[in-house]
Amino acid sequence: MESLDLQVLNDALAWRRSGHAVSLVTVVQTWGSAPRPPGALLAVRDDGMVSGSVSGGCVEDDLIARTKALLASPDAQSAPSLPTLITYGVSKEEATRFGLPCGGTLELVQEPLLNFDWIEQLLARTAAHQLVARQLTLATGAVSLSDAQRGQALQFDGKTLTTMFGPKWRLLLIGSGQLSMAVAQIATMLDFEVLICDPREEYAATLDEGMVGVRRVAGMPDDAVDLLVPDAHMAVVALTHDPKLDDMALIAALQSNAFYVGALGSKRNQATRKQRLAEHFDLSQEQLARLHGPVGLALGAKTPAEIAVSIAAELVLAKNLPTSGSSSR
């Protein structure tokens, strides 16, 4: 459910609309060491242009050659081919030939992109922060979409391929100081859409709005949380060190479906904060237990850049292993 795969679908849709033939390749299974996980996408255009990756570059050249030959076939338009299963690295020699690490093996499904209405529907649903399951029937090439659940995995039985797509991960930062800028820079590199809220004009003025993937949210932090309606693909991190701003945002976030809620401050400050929130704002112990603080993994971080790394690392841990515990910075 990487947004990279959504970008692949965006590119494939644009190419089809402009009249190009396109082949879509999906990783369905891997053995050994594989650079890209099951579900990863590659779109190949009839002229060899590509979007995405299924092997980090190991087999893409061969796939491009296969696709160009397939789409250039005289029968390609009159009798379009059905989805096919392709395997690379069956033998040690083939794995070495294609540069697959540690004798890895890739199993891929390649499909001609004929009807692309489903792409428009899928992109619209993920833009509305919905999880979507896409089912491809290899015998007919038929595609159907349905609702998916977070944590639902790719399924492939040799006849039907079901893959998951979801909205882009979002991060709301409360406060726009030096630490927030460092966190925002790293988070955008990790493919998060970053939103920053700080009603203090003297701080908000420092926000580099030219940073790609970063957007300022106006208003008070708690109003910003309510406006954004945090879901299981959104994290909220309070970094102002001002209880008047942090606490109200944290109350709203802890009552939401955000997958991660964190706050800057020492262990003593966090204990005092939790006591304050419990006494005055009617938060349950279960809700308070969701608060990560001191925010970030225990990396011994001291500088803003190091603390930003520890925060980003804990976000990745919570995103990828939602049931695992994590130690504070």
Do the beta carbons of residue 43 and residue 15 sit within 8 Å?
yes
Q: Which of 231, 82, 240 is nearest to 175 (CA)?
A: 240
Question: pLDDT over 70 for what percent of the chain?
Answer: 83
CATH number given to 170-320: 3.40.50.720
pTM score above 0.85? no
Asked if pLDDT for residue 209 goes beyond 60, the answer is: no
Asked if pLDDT for residue 324 goes beyond 60, the answer is: no
Tokens representing residue 312 in the block: 């980003």
Q: Which of 78, 86, 106, 85 is nearest to 21 (CA)?
A: 78
Report the alpha-carbon distance of residue 30 to residue 327 in Å, rounded.
Answer: 32
Q: Which of 126, 119, 123 is nearest to 231 (CA)?
A: 126
Highest mean pLDDT (candidates 27-31, 115-119, 269-273, 284-288): 115-119
Do the beta carbons of residue 274 and residue 304 sit within 8 Å?
no
The domain locations on the chain are 3-165, 170-320
Q: What is the pLDDT of residue 59?
A: 78
3-state secondary structure of 231: coil
Q: What is the pLDDT of residue 234?
A: 94
**Amino acid letter for position 18:** S
Mean pLDDT of 81-93: 75
